[in-house]
Amino acid sequence: MNIVTPGPFGRNAGTEQVSFHRTELQPILSLYGRMVAAGEWRDYGISSLRDVAVFSVFRRTAENPLYRIEKRPRLRMKQGQYAVIGMEGQVLKRGNDLRQVLRVLERKLIRAVE
């Protein structure tokens, strides 16, 4: 399901934004909490833009994000609407199943805990 919210002040249907639904945020925040507990991540930011919703993960607040979890509904039928993107802009995993896409970061959690 694609959730679209109105733009600032609820005006103009053309200013709709892509956002994460709470069912999408649950697995993201669960992974985030485990990575914080492991001492790997410290902060996050969420952006809802016209074509993409982004959950950015930071080691420190003032840095560039370590990873970006993106939702691009327009790519749903092509490459998959979810992607994990690394610090250098490389796509680490892409697909339509958010939990499958997040597994690339789960592996990093396992290595961090060992």
β-strand pairing of 43-48 with 17-18: unpaired
Quote the pTM value.
0.77
Residue 68 has a pLDDT of: 93
β-strand pairing of 82-86 with 91-95: antiparallel
β-strand pairing of 91-95 with 43-48: unpaired
Q: Is the pLDDT of residue 6 over 80?
A: no
Tens digit of pLDDT for each residue in 48-102?
989 999 999 998 766 788 999 999 988 888 888 899 999 888 999 999 999 999 9
More confident residue, 16 or 47: 47
CA–CA separation, 74 and 54 (whole Å): 14
CA–CA separation, 53 and 51 (whole Å): 7
The arithmetic mean of pLDDT across residues 26-49, rounded, is 90
Residue 2 has a pLDDT of: 41
